[in-house]
Amino acid sequence: MTVEEALSLLETYGMLAGEMEKFLADEKIDTFFELQAQRAKLYAQLGKDGIALLKQDTRGQAMLREMEPREKALIFKAKTWLNRSRNNTDRVHSYDVHGFSPLGHIFNREY
């Protein structure tokens, strides 16, 4: 892999991160996960060798430094969405009635 190929893959990786932020903000989670899968494939294509090349090149170093805060922000937003989703699910399930069957109580009653 050449430095130019690695830079191209990293640029696409960064573009996908930006798109993921938009879809996460709009709560289009299915699309968010599809983009995450595409991003994982790009990362696999980069591999350790591609990342090592980027760390040696000045343009690659600049791109990596530029992407770090965006990655942290994306992780923070994804965790926030996950926590909010879990809280909403817990709230919904808190109204579930467990161990109570009104039908069974009517038929079990002695008159």
Tens of pLDDT, residues 36-87: 999 999 989 888 888 888 889 899 889 989 999 999 998 998 899 888 888 7
**pTM (global) more than 0.75:** no
> How many other C-beta atoms can be found within 10 angstroms of the C-beta atom of residue 101?
10
104 — pLDDT class (breaks 50, 70, 90)? low
Is the pLDDT assigned to residue 107 strictly greater than 90?
no
Cα angle for residues 36, 46, 8 (degrees, 5° grid): 85
